Amino acid sequence: MIIPVRCFTCGKVVGQLWEDYQKHIEKGDESGKALTELGLKRYCCRQLFLGHVDLLKEVSQFKP
């Protein structure tokens, strides 16, 4: 739903990089190249971005 602030495995702070990653993807960069430019070298941090599905807009439509 929301990108985690820290990597679950290594604890590196990655939450602030999500918007920059989205900008790279919108420009047409490859995912691997974008992640490398953002400084994400460990596979545990990279999988957070590659496996993330942004569902916040769909979930926010429902009211409790």
pLDDT in tens, 2-59: 888 999 999 999 999 999 999 999 999 999 999 999 999 999 999 999 998 888 888 8
pTM here is 0.81
CA distance 22 to 19: 5
30: left (phi over 0), alpha (psi -120 to 50) or beta: beta
- Whether residue 10 is contained in a domain is answered as no
Structure-block tokens of residue 45:
């941090």
HSE (CB half, 13 Å, CA atoms) of 15? 9
Counted domains in the chain: 1
- Whether residue 55 is contained in a domain is answered as yes
Name residue 9's amino acid.
T
Query: For residue 60, what pLDDT is reported?
Result: 81
- pLDDT at position 64 over 80: no
- Whether residue 3 is contained in a domain is answered as no
